[in-house]
Amino acid sequence: MGRRPAGPVREHPVPEGAPREARAVSAPEIDIPEVRAEVEAAFAAYETALVTNDVAALDGFFLDRPTTLRYGAGENLYGYAEIAAFRAARSPAGLARSLERTVVTTYGRDFAVASTLFRRAGAPGKVGRQMQTWVRMPEGWRVAAAHVSVIDDPG
């Protein structure tokens, strides 16, 4: 997971009619090294659990809330219970994959987004895309939202 050069941050005006709170928020520090390392470690552990079909570990990575969601390649899951049921019923076959262009970005100390491309040997000509929203909870980093899709490889 490579580092990205820090670029200039552009300031945008607050839209007319925006709530007062929008004007008082300061920008979070982006990519605090130790926070980014924590999320990268959580992401790597999630990936290991995924390809080995460690259902208990996978369940533990998702935020146990009815607002947690996962849009999968062929399913839309709303709430922790639906996600856990999907994992319990999923076939363990064909889960191995290789990752490319993984990017983890942290915003402050408690919020992050992890994005990656993936390929599976059983799906030539296809590339998968995965994005996860991670939030730090008292029990550790948890996925609050995830999106997985597969498209034709653009080349």
CATH topology of domain 28-152: Nuclear Transport Factor 2; Chain: A, (3.10.450)
Predicted confidence (pLDDT) per residue in 88-117, tens digit: 999 889 899 999 999 999 999 999 999 999
Say which residues have a Cβ less than 8 Å from residue 43's Cβ, sequence separation at least 6: 1, 102, 104, 114, 132, 134
Cα–Cα separations (whole angstroms), residue 65 to 54, 61, 130, 145: 20, 12, 21, 11
Q: Name the residue ranges covered by the structural domains of the chain.
A: 28-152
40-79 per-position pLDDT tens digit? 999 999 999 999 999 999 999 999 999 999 999 999 999 9
pLDDT score recorded for residue 12: 63
Does the structure show a pLDDT above 60 at 6?
no
